[in-house]
């Protein structure tokens, strides 16, 4: 078992007592429920608890539950969890070694595998290290030493272009999947059913990943290595540009890591497992987190005047002139959230589609229909309606986090910039004055951007049973046989 990556249940058949443990940071999903008859239920999906439990909740990451004691106990207690400000000096070589070890550890496999490659810093580093160390492994002997990489996006999206360039540089067998806005819209209900959330940014990002995972599994691939977790550890989201000091910066990274099981980990795990695909995330290796979170956050602070952009400490650690891991402009590419990088028109199209299904009157009554986590946009209301249809129990709605957010921030970080309170949107483009293609630079607020997408192009598909239409695939789609 990879260290701290999986959850498990131990049953003592002598008295039917049991212990349940969830992985350290919530890489895999887990829920616990209680039946009317006093029974206790454990499931990796809400769907497993719906019909049999009076009450259920998320099983907290890094915890044990004992049937004898009837309560939770934390087993994962790293130093950073207390949110005390660390003071260790930045050592780029130590950081590089720790991450390389985390990737190498995840090359232990006896099934066909590949890497998810968006062309951004995190996935590109994962691909680069994997490509360097694949030769000589058991996996290489079994499946070949040439790495397979996968990317998804709208035609002409930023991620497709960058991923293609990285794949060419690393010499991977690259598989490029295209989808249209309508393809994604047609899949939304299936996505919400499998992802089990109504969180806006999670659904935006899960949809292309869900579509891509189906195609990857069809190739015979059973495991992928992905880049989730880096932005939380290093403060990579663009709103971190406005962190007022290193203390606030560090506390925000701690809060983001603690919430990963409700956001990016939930997306990565459920988008892939819906099709029987396993996702491994080396950035969330426990040893690597300990090294990265021990660095004095002063080094992580974003200082454009000093040439330090977001995640500078990670970029610098892999900036090797003699044996480069990546081209310079990829190594120093601006952060692009997955839901943005697949194509900016994706989010704009979703907003326009939601506006066709949610009226102004529905929004006026939103607080009465959904008193918990009341949706404040038509897009959020649209997702909530679908979620409630699949998961009507109050316990289900309570498993989804809420609160104000800009560019994936916590509610607390919204306070870092007064202008953000008027532009609350989880897209990275909502980071006004930071993102190179921010909403304000392209003609107004998030709502204004959605209005620019012609509703005449949106097809109102009322058939809830239609499976998602799939995508155009590049000529390099060569099956990998297991």
pLDDT in tens, 190-234: 999 999 999 999 999 999 999 999 999 999 999 999 999 999 999
- Per-residue tokens: 339: 């839901």
Higher pLDDT, 20 or 481: 20
Asked whether 191 and 203 are in contact (CB, 8 A), the reply is: yes
Comparing 467 with 81, the larger pLDDT belongs to: 81
**Per DSSP, what are the bridge partners of residue 224?**
114, 279
pLDDT at 28 > cutoff 70: yes
What is the rounded distance in angstroms from the CA atom of residue 389 to the CA atom of residue 387?
A: 5
pLDDT score at 337: 54
Angle between helical axes of 92-105 and 121-133 (0-180°, round to 10): 70
DSSP state of 156: T
DSSP, res 310: T
Q: Is the pLDDT of residue 113 over 90?
A: yes
Would you say residue 472 has pLDDT above 70?
no
Report percent pLDDT > 90 for the chain. 75
First-to-last alpha carbon distance for the chain, in angstroms, is 22
Strand, helix or coil at 312?
Answer: helix
The yes-or-no verdict on residue 101 having pLDDT over 60 is yes
For residue 252, is pLDDT > 90? yes
pLDDT(103) > 70: yes
Q: What is the pLDDT of residue 342?
A: 64
Asked if residue 181 has pLDDT above 60, the reply is yes
Write the pLDDT tens digit of every residue in 343-400. 678 999 999 999 999 999 999 999 999 999 999 999 999 999 999 999 999 999 999 9
Of 1-10, 79-88, 162-171, 429-438, which gets the smallest average pLDDT? 429-438
Q: Please give the model's pTM, rounded to 2 decimal places.
A: 0.87
414-463 residue pLDDT tens: 889 877 766 666 554 445 556 555 544 444 444 433 333 333 333 333 33
Q: What pLDDT is attached to residue 146?
A: 93
Asked whether 236 and 335 are in contact (CB, 8 A), the reply is yes
**Long-range contacts formed by 470-473: CB under 8 A, 24+ apart:** 470/179, 470/183, 470/211, 470/214, 470/215, 471/152, 471/177, 471/178, 471/179, 471/183, 471/211, 471/215, 472/177, 472/178, 473/175, 473/176, 473/177, 473/178, 473/215
Q: Which residue has the higher pLDDT, 442 or 402?
A: 402
Q: What is the pLDDT of residues 256-275, one digit of tens each?
A: 999 999 999 999 999 999 99
Residues 279-304, mean pLDDT to the nearest whole number: 97
In this prediction, residue 4 carries a pLDDT of: 53
Average confidence (pLDDT) over 14-35: 95
């Amino acid at each position: 078992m990879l260290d701290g990556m999986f959850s498990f249940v131990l049953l003592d058949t002598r008295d039917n007592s049991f212990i349940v443990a969830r992985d350290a940071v919530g890489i895999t999903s887990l829920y616990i429920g209680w039946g009317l008859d006093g029974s206790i239920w454990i499931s990796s999906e809400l769907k497993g608890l719906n019909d049999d439990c009076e009450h259920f909740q998320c099983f907290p990451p890094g915890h044990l539950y004992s049937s004898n004691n009837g309560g939770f106990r934390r087993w994962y207690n790293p130093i950073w969890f207390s949110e005390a400000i660390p003071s260790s000096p930045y050592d780029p070589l130590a950081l590089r070694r720790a991450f390389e070890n985390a990737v190498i550890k995840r090359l232990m496999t006896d099934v066909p595998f590949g890497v998810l490659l968006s062309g951004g810093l995190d996935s590109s580093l994962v691909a680069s290290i994997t490509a360097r160390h694949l030769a000589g492994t058991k996996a290489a002997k079994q499946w070949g030493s040439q790495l397979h990489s996968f990317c998804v996006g709208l035609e002409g999206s930023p991620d497709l272009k960058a991923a293609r360039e990285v794949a060419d540089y690393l010499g991977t067998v690259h598989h490029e999947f295209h989808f249209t806005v309508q393809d994604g819209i047609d899949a939304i209900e299936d996505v919400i059913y499998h992802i089990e959330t109504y969180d806006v940014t999670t659904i935006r990002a899960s949809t292309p990943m869900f579509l891509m995972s189906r195609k990857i599994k069809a190739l015979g691939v059973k495991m992928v290595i992905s880049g989730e977790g880096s932005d939380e550890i290093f403060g990579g989201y663009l709103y971190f540009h406005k962190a007022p000091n290193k203390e606030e910066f560090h506390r925000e990274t701690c809060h983001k890591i603690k919430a990963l099981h409700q956001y990016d980990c939930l997306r990565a795990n459920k988008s892939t497992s819906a099709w029987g695909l396993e996702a491994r995330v080396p950035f969330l290796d426990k040893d690597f987190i300990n090294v990265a979170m021990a660095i004095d956050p002063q080094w992580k602070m974003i200082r454009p005047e000093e040439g330090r952009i977001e995640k500078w400490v990670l970029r610098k650690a892999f900036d090797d002139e003699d044996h480069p891991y990546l081209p310079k402009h990829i190594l120093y590419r601006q952060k692009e959230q997955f839901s943005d990088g697949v194509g900016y028109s994706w989010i704009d199209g979703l907003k326009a589609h939601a506006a066709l299904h949610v009226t102004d009157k529905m929004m006026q009554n939103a607080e009465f229909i959904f008193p918990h986590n009341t949706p404040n946009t038509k897009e959020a209301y649209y997702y909530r309606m679908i979620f409630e249809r699949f998961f009507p129990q109050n316990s289900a709605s309570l498993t989804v986090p809420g609160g104000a957010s800009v560019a994936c921030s916590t509610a607390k970080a919204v306070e870092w910039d007064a202008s953000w309170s008027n532009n609350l949107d989880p897209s990275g483009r909502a980071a006004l004055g930071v993102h190179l293609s921010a909403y304000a630079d392209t003609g107004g607020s998030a709502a204004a951007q959605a209005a620019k997408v012609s509703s005449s192009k949106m097809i109102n598909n009322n058939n809830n049973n239609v499976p998602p239409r799939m995508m155009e695939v590049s000529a390099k789609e060569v099956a990998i046989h297991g």
